[in-house]
Each structure stands twice: as C-alpha cells, then as structure tokens.
Amino acid sequence: MTIMKCRLSICIFFLFLAVQTPAQDTKVKAVIDRNHILIGERIKLTLEADIPETAPIRFFYLDTINHFEFIHKGKIDTANTPSGTVLRQDLVITSFDSGRYYLPAFSLDPSGGPQTDSMAITVSYTPFDTGQAYHDVKDIIEVEIKPEKNNWLIYIVGAAAILAVAAFFLTGRKKKLPVSTHTITEDPYARAISELDALLQSEPESREFFTRLTDSFRRYLSHRKNINSLQKTTSDLLIPLHSIGLDKTIFHELSVALRMSDLVKFARYEPGQEDRMTSYTIIRKVIGQIEEDHNKQKVNA
C-alpha cells in the first residue's frame, strides 16, 4: 500500500510539472544589414525561424515585396538544436524607387502565428555635389553667313573636266559586268555574342559598358524577335519580353539588369564590378535562351 502511494505521488508530481512547464513557442526573426541605401544598392536580409521539435518544420515563402526587387535568394540552412530546429536564409534585395518604405512583417503561416518585426528602409538618389562648378544652359549662338563669291570660271572649268573624264570611261573602256547587289546578312546571334565578347575584353567605364551591353541586347531582339526594341523604354520593352516564354526568375533578373543600366546611363547609380558581371551574365543568358527557343521552332516548323 505504501509503495502504491509512493508511485501515485511521483506520477502526480510529474503531471503537475508538465502542466506548469509552458510549451516552447516558435520564434522568428528578420534582420537587415542597413536601413538607408542609394537607388540600386544592395541590402542583405536574413530570415531565421527557431522551431521546437513538437512543431511542424516550415519556413517563410517570399515571392514579392512591394518597392523591392530580389537580387539573390540563398539556400535555406538547417541546424538541429537540443530544443528543435533552426532554419536560416540570406537574401539580397534592392530598390529602384526613391522614398521611405517598410519591409512587412513576415510569418511562417499566412493564416497566423508569430511574425517578424517590420523594418523601415530609406531609398534615395546619389546626392548632388555642390562643390562642382555650375554650368548654365547657353543661348543659341548666331552664325554669320558670308556671301559666296561668284567664281563662275572655276565652276565651268571643273564641270568641263568632269565631262571629259566621264566621256573617256564611257567610250574608251569595256563595260564591266554588273556587280551583284545581294548582301549576306550577319546572323543576329553571332553578332550579339561577338559584341559581348568584345565588350568584356575592352573593359570600358561603367556608362559605356552598360550602354553597349543593352544596345547589343536590343539589336538582337529587333532582328530575332522583330521587337521594335531600339525605340522602347525599359518599361515598354519588358511588356513583350514577358510574353516570349522566359523563365520567371530569369525575367526578373533581366528586368533588374535593364533598370540598373538606365540608372547608370543617367548617372544616378555607380555600379561595382559585381553589378557589371551580374548584368552581363544575365543578358548573355537571355540571348542564349531566346536563340535556343528560336532554333527549336525552326526544327518543328
């Protein structure tokens, strides 16, 4: 009887302890490495979820963020802990819209649950250098038009000489065979790749680099896809590009590269070497994918 009471007391004790011990909650966290950038600069966003072993394993799903673009999405790292599992992912984002925006609160479950803190980020243009000299717009300069001299004798002698030479060639030489007017059109893909190779080897300054890069891409589109790309703005160009079957991720990377090129050409952003190579790589990749699709259509036609 005493043993039964002892066992019952132990069970009641552990039951009481289990009731009094709170269940561990899932913890989530979002961290950015800066909260103020120039247009096109990068922000490292780190997402972390600490999930207890009694809860299902899941992680954030980020498709789009208003006013921000994804540059890179790293893989999700997983680490086991005594209390459960920690998942972490590093992302790189940027923005091409000036203003003050908020990263929203992220949640593992759209229907509810713990959320990360929202974070404010200020995006601005490169500040104007007041130390440089200001050059105002100049008025149109009138050009003095000098009256022509009446050198009629020179004109008459020149005309006579031309007629004499023409008569000699018409009467004193055999007629040449007509030259074929047929011209061999250079393959758009070969030309684009040749231009990109030359661009990479020449290593020009940033503005020329991005101008030549996007010009080569636009010329290729004009000849291969019959898109009037040379006269379109970047926003207008992305509309037909969205419908030619590009992978969603590749299309997103292409739009970032084209918008960055606009900022560089208008001196609103100074890119680094990584920006140059990333834009170059995606432009070349898109040209290759379009050419591959074009060749498949020719085979199936």
Tokens of 95: 């923005």
Lowest mean pLDDT among 3-7, 25-29, 114-118, 229-233: 3-7
Residue 43 has pLDDT above 80, yes or no: yes
The per-residue pLDDT for 102 is 94
> Based on the structure, what is the number of domains in the chain?
2
Burial class (CB in 10 A: 0-12, 13-18, 19+), 103: buried
pLDDT, one tens digit per residue, over 131-170 is 555 455 555 566 565 555 556 666 676 777 777 767 766 6
Tell me if 144 is assigned to some domain: no
Tokens coding 139: 């008025």
Report yes or no on 15 lying in a domain: no
pTM: 0.53
Structure tokens at 63: 């498709």
Cβ neighbour number for residue 193 with a 10 Å cutoff: 17
pLDDT in tens, 242-265: 888 888 888 889 989 998 898 888
SS3 content of the chain, % helix, strand, coil (to 5): 45, 20, 40
Which residues on adjacent β-strands are paired with residue 124? 38
Q: What domain range includes position 56?
A: 27-124
Residue ending a domain, among 102, 124, 146, is: 124
